[in-house]
Structure 1
Amino acid sequence: MIRPARRATAVLVVAAALLLTSCGSGGGDESPSDKIKGAGSGNGSAPASPTGSASPSGTGRPEIKLSKEFEANFENWTNSDPKLQAILNDGREQLRAKYAAVIEANPDSEAVAFYSSEATLATARKWIKQFVDDGDSIIGEVRVFDAQVKINDTGSGALFYCVDERRASTKNRETAKVVKTPDKPESVLQYRTRLDKTSEGVWQTTSVTVVPGGCS
């Protein structure tokens, strides 16, 4: 289990211990295998999605901006099925919202709340607050890839994806000290998420499990 941020040398993976056990409603509907059985994994030929302020279209969706010092590159984040693409879009924005909240030192980010259900919001805010309490922001680059998405028989969305954090670092706001993420397999995380569609048409993340090294 990864230690808390104050005692670890990793960057984002240090807080993953908060999510090692599935949080949220239902605990997810998928088996713990690395692949979602029968899932579509995108078209495979699309370029990485934009990382700056691009957000999915739709009424009320917040604009999420990342700093020039940090990039989140979403590779092949596309699917020919519009319903599955909608899940990919909102799942992407939920992750981007959390990164932006760390950079802004804002655990109460409205964007995080917008894309997170009540069941997962408390854990997301706790994850962000670890960085804020340590006085750290994040810089560098994360690569988000191998997205697998489907809609379950219950109507919930299942979205698995990998996040490579080995080119990311923390940067202390006061001292400017940079701590790099270790170049180790456990710095590549697998996110196993469940999303449910709200009455407003937003796919909110309702369950998250993060597995360090789960994509190796």
Structure 2
Amino acid sequence: MNRPARLVPAALVTTAALLLTACGSGEDDGSSSDKIKGAGREGSASASASASASAATDGRPEITLPKTFQANFESWTNSDPKLQAIINDGREELRSKYAAITESAPDSEAVAFYNSGNSLATARTWIKSFVDTDDSLIGEVRVYNPQVHINNTGSGVLFYCVDERKASTKNRKTGKVTATPDKPESVLQYRARLDKTAQGVWKTVSLETVAGGCG
């Protein structure tokens, strides 16, 4: 949301949206950019902000977002249980980062639960950039159009869109609010690669964003 250019390439500074700093530098090895084939999004059920609460019994962390900032997941369903598992963990990966920012917790265990390798390092740096300036998030983001498949190496490939135009940053000390620009570039496409652990968790191992990538 018009964040300082801590991780953003200079060419993107003028149109930097909230999550461009999270992974806009492209930590990906190419796998997450696989062309989506046979991707599915079915149903119209929305995942609530507390959707992970019931998942705590299987070892997954419970993630709660404040009423002042919400992530609304639209049509986040798939008829294939294997693909549904990927998009579920992809959803919680994103929510864990939002929660870490609102809680000012750069070392969040939930973020580590859903990320590994370069993806974890980049997420930590991005979250810390908010903590260092004492900023939090307010408003809401719309997360939609999940497209998912399993590639020939067994990794999950998940693309989805995040519309940040109704969200802002708010400084905890001064109360200053900085709104996300109401521009097409503030709608980002996320491209993630996830690997399944022995415990059955689909961890994000690489992630990139494309500003304005959702058309």
TM-score in terms of structure 2 length:
0.89
Match of 1:50 in 2: 48
Give the structure 2 partner of residue 128 of structure 1. 127
Unaligned runs of 5+ residues in structure 1 are: none
2:17 maps to 1:16 = no
**Structure 1 residue 29, shift from structure 2 partner:** 4.7
**Cross-structure match for 2:118:** 119
User: Where in structure 2 are the equivalents of 1:131-146 lying within 5 Å?
Assistant: 131-146=130-145
Identity of aligned residues (%): 59
Q: Following TM superposition, by how much is the alpha carbon of 1:83 offset from its aligned partner in structure 2, in angstroms?
A: 0.4
Q: Does 2:5 correspond to 1:4?
A: yes
Contact 1:151 1:157 in 2 (8 A): yes
C-alpha contact (below 8 Å) 1:195/1:204 kept by paired residues = yes
Question: What residue in structure 2 maps to residue 83 of structure 1?
Answer: 82
- Which AA in structure 1 matches 2:212? G
Which AA in structure 1 matches 2:39? Answer: A
1:101-141 superposed Cα distances (whole Å, 9 cap, x missing partner): 00011110000000001231110001111111111000000
Q: Deviations over 1:142-165 (max 9, x none)?
A: 000010001111110000000000
> 1:30 Cα deviation (Å)?
3.2
| CA RMSD, 1 decimal | 2.3
Conservation of the 8 A alpha-carbon contact between 1:3 and 1:15: no
Q: CA offsets, 1:42-91, max 9 Å, x none? A: 11x32211113634635210000101101100000000110000001000
**Cα distance in 2, alignment partners of residues 53 and 78 from structure 1:** 13
Aligned length: 208
Which letter maps to 1:98? K
**Partners of 1:101 and 1:119 in 2: how far apart?**
18
User: Runs ≥4 in structure 1, deviation > 6 angstroms?
Assistant: 7-10
Confirm or deny that 1:28 pairs with 2:50. no
Q: TM-score, normalised by structure 1?
A: 0.88
Supply the distance in 2 between the matched residues of 1:162 and 1:200 (Cα, whole angstroms). Answer: 28
Match of 1:171, SS?
A: strand
Residues 52, 199 of structure 1: CA spacing in aligned structure 2 closer, same or farther, 3 A cutoff? same
> 2 CA distance for matches of 1:98 and 1:17?
12
Distance 1:108 1:159 in 2: 25
Q: Which amino acid aligns with 1:30?
A: S
Displacement after TM superposition at 1:13 (Å)? 1.9
Q: 1:82 to 1:15 in 2, by over 3 A?
A: closer
User: Partner residue of 1:104?
Assistant: 103
Q: Structure 1 residues 53, 62: closer, same or farther in 2, change over 3 A?
A: same
Q: Aligned ranges for residues 64-75 of structure 1 at < 5 Å?
A: 64-75=63-74
CA distance in 2: counterparts of 1:95 and 1:29, whole angstroms? 16
Give the whole-Å Cα distance in 2 for the aligned partners of 1:18 and 1:205.
13
Residue pair 1:160, 1:193 contacting (<8 A) in 2 also: yes
Change (3 A) 1:62 1:120: same
Give the aligned residue type for 2:52.
A
Q: What amino acid does structure 2 have at the position aligned with 1:49? A: A
